[in-house]
Structure 1
Amino acid sequence: MAGFPIHQLDKYLKVLVQEHGKLVAICDEFKTDVKNLPFQRRVTRVVSPGTLIDERFLDPFHNNFILAITESEEGKFGLAWLDVSTADFQTSECADAKSVRDEIARIAPREVVLVHDNIYPPEHPISEAIRRIQAVNSQISMPEEITNSLGVEETNVSAAEFSAINLLTGYLSTRLLEHMPDMHVDAPQHTDKTMHMDAATLAALEIRETNERSTRGSLVNILRRTVTQGGARLFVHWLTAPSTSIPLIRARQSIVDLFLHRSFLHQDIRMIMHTSIGDVLRTLQRISLRRNDVQDLLEIRDFIQAMDQILDRLKSETSAPVSGSELNEWMLRCTSLHELGERLGEAIDERVMQKRMEQQAALSKQFDSLYDTGEATTETVDVPKVRKQRRVPVSMPLLLEEPLWGDDIEHLIRPDSSPLLRTLTDQYNECRAKARILENSLRQRHEEHVTLKFLLGQGYIVHFPSPRSTALDESLTLAYKTKTTRTFYHPEWSKIGMKLQKLRDQITECESRLLDTLRLEVLVHSSTLRRNARLLDQLDVLQSFAQAAKDLSLVRPHVDESYELDICDGRHLGVELGLMEQERLFTKNDLELGQNARLHLITGPNMGGKSTFLRQNAIIAVLAQAGSFVPAGAARIGVVDAIFSRVGAKDDLFHNRSTFMVEMSETADILQRASSRSFVIADEIGRGTNTSVGLAVAFSVLHSLAARIQCRTLFATHYYELADMLGFGQDQPPSPNLSQQVAFFCTNLVKHGEVLWFSHRVRPGVNRDSHGLVVARLAGMPEDTMELATKTHAWIVQHGRAHIDTHGLVQDVLKPQP
């Protein structure tokens, strides 16, 4: 495409790349030393969805990852993913395709790179995951030579991970082209000490988005109180990959607790971050790729100054005896770059930068308005109207009082910050003073308002505002004459003007070199700046947790090595806020799982709150291990290595799979991958087939979870027969060992007169009535249909549903009433 202004490039990249997933090749023009070929054009970058660098439409609150996946001959998968805009770089190794599918769901990359030889069929888990997150799928050949453009050594990663890094590097070199040599990333971060959540669990718990694919109502949306872009991105990462390290979890909680109880400190930190911290990681990446401007250097200056302010504020607060060692440890990891900040502040004139930005924005807005309305053409030129100059009476003063000719140079770099720039500026002003002296002498000599000017096409000339003939200075040579004005060449003015132009060019070149020196100095400290930025992102997330704890009445959980989940007055934040909008209250519930029984069998009516209860306890475990406080009265969380969910299902028509098939596939994953430290929430397993088969499947799954895997499980079902099969209420249960692992809980439907309402209270016991007929009636089913359903249900209960006489059933329920 051509023929549109360069400042509108982002507009077209957003449409073509981000919205439609196309590739866009950008071609730039360069000067050459060849006489017949003054300019050369070449492709300098190919933009793809995963290789965006600094485009304005990039979402500042989410990473823009590109993920490379390789498969070894042994069947292991290597993963390497990078956000080009921030240099966030991580690697992982997966043992099977299903684990890769879950990583794809957690990472949510915009582009996935595969090797041509490893193109997976549509029904493959990797293909399914890529399609589900709507990522662009790119394929290239595996690079033959091992490149090291990302600076990662093979000794730091596994062979599978290094293969993925090699693929990612090879692909980036075909897209970033001339920007690739300057690409720098930190050492890859591994994900081996994080809680595992598969794709189904991330969707069921609505971590990033709700089941309606909306961010409103998601856990991230409800809980986030970050004030920086980097903090917002890290917040999402912490919630999708909670830690399993107890020391790390407790350190995070201690800082959250400190902020929560010291509100003045908390608000001061928030204010400094809000007013002074930009997107530092993306700014550093622009600087490293030579795509920065002076404003980016000012942003680095502001970040350094804000970091010093935060450290000073924390030091003054943490000098008290009650201060936590965790915050002191955080401060020790920070490195002050006060001298670099001072140099940037002393060198760059922020006022000039702000003025130029305002002028550029005004010009861009003016052109856009013309361009969008179709009024801008190649002939469109904004030429100001020239008013006729009136002859100035001779009585007006001729001599100019200002000592210098022309306008001051708007220095981006303050002259006092460089001896050379100071010298050039002084010489420039000396020439301006000579020009003013010459101008006044010419005015005095000719008694006219003579001015010294520079005109395109004429050069440095002396301008006379009248056409009348006077005794001219013999050194003046006529350049141009109209009916109203005359212009002349003057040798002294030509000499001064040429020197002014030369000095201006030297000043511009000197400023450019000084700015590049500042850029290189920033790059020298880039590792420290990145570390400080990541530490500040952590502090932002922790203060966000503290603000959420205050706003949402969250409490600090106790996290330990036990196998228990003890939660008092637990709540589901999303459901609670939804009920608050309807002016209704949420029913809190307790959970004691793991000490006396590792599996709770939960029965109860439809809409009784079973699914909400399952989800809220899983979310509490996620928040606790992310370092956040939790929505409960009190909580004790034994570390969970993975959360698996089997909640809700629908047909997968693309793969020709029924609801029951989808349900069984997810259940099979749980039984194959869960460990004794995992937490499983299972809802209505076996409901997608006939009663006897569904009951058999539900019992076998329950038995495997409780007896073989022995993981903590909340098992919600309408098959109350499972309680009988496990010996509920019997003196001699069929399987004593299994019965010791299972506890029975239920919800109920409460009736007050003619009013029915769901208590949503989870209590010990078994509910043998689903109250489905009540729910169907509330949903507006026709009355005659409900009467027939009631009679049919009564007949089945009376005669037993294991062996139904279908002929007798139809005859009895359809018999005319007398």
Structure 2
Amino acid sequence: MRKFENCVLLTRVGSFYELYFDNAEEYGPLLNLKVSKKKTNKGPVSMAGFPFFQLDRFLKILVQDLNKYVAISEEFANDAVKKVKSGGLLFDRKVTRIITPGTLIDENFMDPWENNYVLSIHLEDAASRDRRNPEEQTTENDAESLAETGPTEVGLAWLDLSSGDFFTQATDFPSLSSAIARIGPREIVVDSSLESIEHSPLMSLLKQDHHILTYHKTAGHAISIESWTPMLEDPVSKNYASAFTPGEITAGSFLLDYIRTRLQGSTTKLQPPVRYQNTEYMTIDKNTLRGLEVRATLRDGNYQGSLLHAIRKTVTKSGTRLLTQRLTTPSMSLSVINSRLDLVSELLGHTALRQDVVVLLRRTYDTLRLVQKFAFGKGDADDLLGLASTVQVTQDLATVLKNHTESPRREVNLEGDVSLRSAQSTCVQDILRRLNFEGPVELFHRISEAIDEDGLSEQHRIQESEAAVMAGIAGEVLQEEADDEEIWNVPKRLRPKEAGSPNSNRTDTEFREVWIMKRSASLTLQSLHVELEKIQQEKTELAEELREQHDAPSLTLRWTPGLSYHCHVKGKDVKSANLGPSARSVSSSRSTKSFHLPEWTSLGARLDNVKMRIRAEEQRVFGELRAQVVRNLVKLRRNAAVLDELDVACSFATLAHEKSLVRPLLNSGTSHMIVRGRHPVVETSLTEQGRTFTANDCFVGEGERILLLTGPNMAGKSTYLRQNALISILAQTGSFVPAEYAEIGLVDKIFSRVGFADNLYQDQSTFMVEMLETAEILKQATPRSFVIMDEVGRGTTPEDGIAVGYACLHHLYHVNRCRTLFATHFHALADLTEGFEKLGCYCTDVSEEAGDSFSYVYRLRRGVNRRSHALKVARLAGLPDEAIAVAGRMLAEFEHTKGPVGENPIRYAESVTSANTAVA
């Protein structure tokens, strides 16, 4: 990584962080910090600083908001020899981690509802495919050759460090953009040799979509699956390893090498890699994900208004992440889909069971991210309690499910289908069989016996108090600093070690030592606490003895950072106290006096020793608990996966109950039979407005492969297209669907061509973007695909648009032979396709009433509607009446001159042009 280029260095200095960067103009205003210049051996750099407890706040700004890389340098106590050699410095400093947008682990600003993926891409052409020497790296000439000839294989590997998820995929270059859109990485890593290549197809693609890009040069690690093992919870089996392609292996090795450099020696345990295979999932390309608004809205990219927002009823963070994954990768396996639907049916048919499961799921923690923290050697006592609580809740959940399977079966209202009820009863048993409590339950008991929750709560209270003190100190520093002072130079009088601790001036009677472990956590702790109590009893007896001996009722035994263990008297006892020859005064005033006594100094040393040993034993026990979590890593993750599946199933069941959804019937055919289907997002919006959604049927496939839709603007054609695509996605995701009946043949790919968009970055007009998207559909759609196309050809002249629209219909009908919904305002297309036996024409309409009033008829009917009623929409939009009148005269002229509609579309276009000229 080049010094300070897109990178910030944070160096810990006591209670503050020094911040070094290269661009004061960019960073200063955003960070709201005072910035100054400092000379280094690398040249002048900008500097600022902030208190250590604000680290998360500034990491969020730098990493999440500004997409910068942050190298964190921490302090480490050095040994005596190093201390002498370093001129008396107490600490060494070294970079412990490099944080990038895609390598977040447990930062507080992470989005818990979404995965945080970092993606590696490896391109390989035919000439270099057989090159497998681990020491031979990709050269610049190789990259240039690849840029010219184009790749024949693309290997992908991506992972989420926060949860341990690890995936690979082999694809081709035309499908790469859609694969990236489906994954949604926060950061993409490519070989550093590609950085200097101009006009690279890969670089053009990545820059076009504005991805965060990192160039990385490998450290020479072997390119093999065996090299992954140190970073995995379990090694990849030989049988499974043989399925990975060379591109996947190279991408995976490259990605793990990149992770090693970012973690700076820290260890982790990822889940075994899962191969994403195109044949196992429905393919939803980039444009379709965006056009159907699966994860975000098309116009402004908001979550609200998306399909995910409309259907999400999950109650856990990891369950929401699983729901998102399933929506973007619907299954192609009938057995998988039906097993998911069986579980949804069971939960829908038994309301009490669903409610009990949801209540328990709400009490769980994000296990996948918690155990990953322990895999990194992190994780605190709160995380242990979260894991223990989740294990206990999972046990309770298993009991609820077991009681349900053993109770007499009630009839479920599913048309009396006995085989279906049988399948539903076994799906819960399958869930129970997958839960493993052998190790986790032991871990739960060990954590419950060891962690003192009351002590932990008290520790948090003290930490919050100390943070408040530090915030006050930081405020004073900011107020008092002179123009030439640096923000990180804290005045000595304000240093926390002398005045910052809220406990620094408390007496032993005022302050109780906080322990986070119960005494029963170990035999050693028990004996140490007994010893501590004896010393504390001795201290109480000593205090009473000293009060009598020195005739000082106000005498107390204290400890402060500056005076260590000392005796303190106040008031009239200051003058009357008989200190004796062994007392040594260390501080005095008119009203107080402090002095050292050998008895209290000796007892205090013993007290310190015992407390130190207790803390050491607590750390040892805590280390054992961490190790026990790591030993149960696999079981905890698998149990967490079961909870996520239950959460998604409960979400779908709740949604089906609230929205009156039905179970779809999936088969291996190539037809849709949807009765009274509804758009899941639009219906929700209309319901909130007190309006009713107009349902429509969709019978497309064997009888009619293409439905050609015409009708007025705003009469529901686009909604109809989208709703049937979304119903297909929901069905293969494992959800019930918004319809009265749905029988769907498996869809391998969904394509959509909807909406206006240009791409000025690539110098592409709206029509060019439309044609590029249409080209991909015509090249990739198969007989099992489902295509929706809205207004193809509208970005050019009428005659060209009609020609392009007809060509698309012709290709989809004769070549792709796939299920297609095609909406258009080019009514001539209905006449041009009269010979297509398996093409049906349908339309929506407008009901005109007295005066200028009208209403839309959203119900689909067979036939062609040759009026678009665009002027009605223009009037609703607020066009001036004068403009509406001119448009009306033009439209009347067009209708007068065009002759029979559809007789000759080209002649019609020419007549429109002539009429336009005459009016002008």
In 2, Cα distance between equivalents of 1:807 and 1:488: 106
> What's the TM-score once normalised by structure 1's chain length?
0.91
**Aligned positions, number:** 787
Deviation at 1:219, TM superposition (A): 0.5
1:122–1:639 distance in 2 versus 1, CA, 3 Å: farther
String of CA shifts for 1:181-229, please: whole Å, max 9, x gaps. Answer: 3343333342431110001100110001111211111001111111111
Deviation at 1:424, TM superposition (A): 0.8
The answer as to 2:343 corresponding to 1:262 is no
Task: Tell me if the contact between 1:642 and 1:679 (Cα under 8 Å) persists in the aligned partners.
Answer: yes
Shift of 1:133: 5.2
SS in 2 for 1:761: strand
Match of 2:270 among 184, 198, 203: 184
Aligned to 1:348: 451
Kindly indicate whether residue 546 of structure 2 is the aligned counterpart of residue 442 of structure 1: yes
**724, 727, 747: which is aligned to 2:844?**
747
Q: CA deviation at 1:785?
A: 1.4
How many angstroms apart in 2 are the aligned matches of 1:425 and 1:808? 97
Matched, 1:682 2:734: no
Cross-structure match for 1:228 = 316
In structure 2, what residue type is equivalent to 1:770? Answer: S
**Structure 2, unpaired ranges of 5+:** 1-9, 11-17, 19-48, 127-151, 410-423, 482-489, 503-507
Cα drift, residue 175 of structure 1: 1.4
Cα-Cα RMSD: 2.8
1:601 matches 2:689: no
How far did residue 129 of structure 1 move? 5.4
SS in 1 for 2:274: coil
1:768 correspondence with 2:866: yes
- Cα distance change of structure 1 residues 143 and 158 upon mapping to structure 2, 3 Å threshold: farther
Query: Which of 562, 565, 584 is the aligned partner of 1:460?
Result: 565
In the alignment, is the contact (CA less than 8 A) between 2:551 and 2:577 conserved in 1?
no
What is the aligned partner in structure 1 of residue 45 from structure 2? none
Does residue 1:159 correspond to 2:246, yes or no?
Answer: yes
CA drift at 1:742: 1.6
**Partner SS, residue 525 of structure 2:** helix
Quote the residue 1:392 is aligned against: none
Matched residue, 1:320? 407
1:359 aligns with 2:462: yes
CA contact (8 A) 1:287 1:523 kept: yes
1:415 aligns with 2:519: yes
Tell whether 2:337 aligns with 1:249: yes
Corresponding residue number in structure 2 for 1:492: 599
CA distance in 2 between partners of 1:808 and 1:463 (Å)? 103
The structure-2 alpha-carbon separation of the partners of 1:470 and 1:80, relative to structure 1 and needing over 3 Å to count, comes to closer
> Within 1, Cα distance between the matches of 2:214 and 2:756?
30
Q: TM-score, normalised by structure 2?
A: 0.81
SS of alignment partner, residue 787 of structure 2? strand
Q: Which moved more, 1:43-52 or 1:141-150?
A: 141-150
Q: Distance in 2 between matches of 1:217 and 1:189?
A: 32
Equivalences for 1:709-720 in 2 at 5 Å?
709-720=816-827
Distance in 2 between residues matched to 1:14 and 1:100, nearest whole Å: 30
Task: Name the stretch that deviates more: 451-460 or 743-752.
Answer: 451-460
Structure 1: segments with no counterpart, 5+ residues: 387-403, 728-732
Which residue identity lines up with residue 520 of structure 1 in the other structure? A
- Structure 1 residues 594 and 814, CA, compared in 2 at 3 Å: closer, same or farther? closer
Distance change in 2, residues 1:750/1:797 (3 Å): farther
Q: What is the CA deviation profile of residues 263-292 of structure 1, one whole-angstrom value per residue up to 9, with x for unaligned ones?
A: 222122211221x21222111121121222
Q: Distance in 1 between matches of 2:501 and 2:898?
A: 94
Where does 1:417-566 land on structure 2 (aligned, <5 Å)? 417-449=521-553, 450-465=555-570, 466-468=573-575, 476=583, 478=585, 480-566=587-673
- The one-letter code sitting in structure 1 at the alignment partner of 2:328 is T
Using the TM superposition, give the Cα deviation of residue 67 of structure 1 relative to its aligned residue in structure 2, in angstroms. 0.4
Give the distance between the partners of 1:808 and 1:580, measured in 2 at CA: 44
Question: What amino acid is aligned across from residue 855 of structure 2 in structure 1?
Answer: W
Q: 1:571/1:752 Cα in 2 relative to 1: closer, same or farther (>3 Å)?
A: same
Cα distance in 2, alignment partners of residues 659 and 598 from structure 1: 28
Aligned partner letter, 1:175: R
Amino acid at match of 2:767: F
Given that 1:143 and 1:167 are in contact with CA atoms closer than 8 Å, whether structure 2 keeps it comes out as no
Rounded Cα–Cα distance in structure 2 between residues aligned with 1:325 and 1:245: 19
Task: Letter of the 1:767 partner, please give it.
Answer: N
- Shift, 1:494, TM fit: 2.8
1:397 alignment partner in structure 2: none
Q: Which amino acid is the alignment partner of residue 361 of structure 1?
A: E
Change (3 A) 1:302 1:773: same
Please give the per-residue CA displacement for 1:480-515, whole angstroms capped at 9, x wherever unaligned.
554444444433333222111111100000001100
In the alignment, which residue of structure 2 is the partner of 1:586? 693
The CA deviation string for residues 439-470 of structure 1, in whole angstroms up to 9 with x for no partner, is 22222333322333334444333334423356
Task: Quote the residue 1:39 is aligned against.
Answer: 91
> CA separation of 1:685/1:405 partners in 2, compared to 1, >3 Å: closer, same or farther?
closer
Match of 2:51 in 1: 5
Seq. identity, %: 35
The CA deviation at 1:166 is: 1.3
| SS class of match (1:687) | coil
Hey, what does 2:27 align to over in structure 1?
none
**Cα deviation, residue 701, structure 1:** 1.7
Q: Larger deviation: 186-195 or 519-528?
A: 186-195
CA apart distance, 1:40: 1.0
SS at match of 1:790: helix
Change (3 A) 1:306 1:446: same
* Contact 2:112-2:317 at 8 Å conserved across structures: yes
Letter in 2 for 1:287: F
Which position in structure 1 is the counterpart of 2:728? 621
Could you tell me which of 255, 258, 278 is aligned with 2:365? 278
8 A contact 1:647–1:683 mirrored in 2? yes
Q: CA deviation at 1:814?
A: 4.5
1:311 aligns with 2:398: yes
Change (3 A) 1:507 1:638: same
Q: What CA distance in whole angstroms lies between the structure 2 residues aligned with 1:317 and 1:807?
A: 71
Cα distance 1:317–1:587, how it changes in 2: closer, same or farther (>3 A)?
A: same
